[in-house]
Amino acid sequence: MLDKYLEVKKENKAHKYMSRILICIIILLISLIGISISDKVKNFYQEYIFNDSFSFMKFKNFFSKVAGTEDSEEENDATAVMSSFIDYERKEKFLDGEKYIGVQENFINSLAGGIVTFVGDKNDYGKTVIIQGSNGFDIWYFLLNDVDVNIYDYVKASSIIGTINKEFGLVITKDGKFYTYEEYVNALK
């Protein structure tokens, strides 16, 4: 009985993956045909996908509605990831975000799942990782020593982003508004 259940479960999982692959192929073919036939479609792709900041999470949410999600896939918010956040001695305002000083940990975890949209040095922020969260927030992790993610990686909530040494910073933004960590946690409730 259990063997039959496991076989059916494996078959369902295989069907889900095959349907997801087929949907991706269909979307790709429609896009390629549209680009080759119409200048309007080509201009649309150039303007909204290549030149603007493409919202990967909107596409992921759309794709999840069309193709479904995995049963084990779940997005955790910041309160579930780090209920006490991270231990630090003090924090101070730093440009558009906050800098946490006197940190005892040597790595930083993602507050929410999402797509990595930037990895590198960013003006006055130093080594920075920006994650476009599935919850609609963009979170910048800055003053990092080393980075453990690559651009366009999908990271789950609580994934290790990089290493830190006594301090790091956060910029949390949504729709042009900047949030402190506490405001961010309250906005998720």
Q: What is the pLDDT of residue 131?
A: 93
Four-way CATH pick for 78-188: 2.30.110.10, 2.70.70.10, 3.40.50.12780, 2.70.170.10: 2.70.70.10
pTM listed for this prediction: 0.62
Q: How far apart are CA 131 and CA 128, in angstroms?
A: 10
Radius of gyration of the chain (CA): 20
Q: How confident is the model at residue 46 (pLDDT cuts 50, 70, 90)?
A: confident
Check whether 67 has a pLDDT greater than 70. Answer: no
Strands 138-142 and 126-133: antiparallel
Q: What is the pLDDT of residue 170?
A: 92
Q: What is the pLDDT of residue 82?
A: 43
Q: What is the pLDDT of residue 81?
A: 44
Domain ranges within the chain, ordered by starting residue: 2-52, 78-188
The residue whose two tokens read 């059916």 is: 8
Check whether 77 has a pLDDT greater than 70. Answer: no
Q: What is the pLDDT of residue 144?
A: 92
User: Which comes out higher in pLDDT, residue 72 or 131?
Assistant: 131
pLDDT above 90: percentage of residues in the chain: 22
Q: How confident is the model at residue 75 (pLDDT cuts 50, 70, 90)?
A: very low
The residue whose two tokens read 């453990």 is: 148
Whole-angstrom CA distances from 40 to 27, 36, 37, 48, 122 are: 17, 10, 9, 12, 34
Check whether 133 has a pLDDT greater than 80. Answer: yes
Burial bucket for residue 166 (CB in 10 Å: 0-12, 13-18, 19+): middle
Q: What is the pLDDT of residue 143?
A: 92
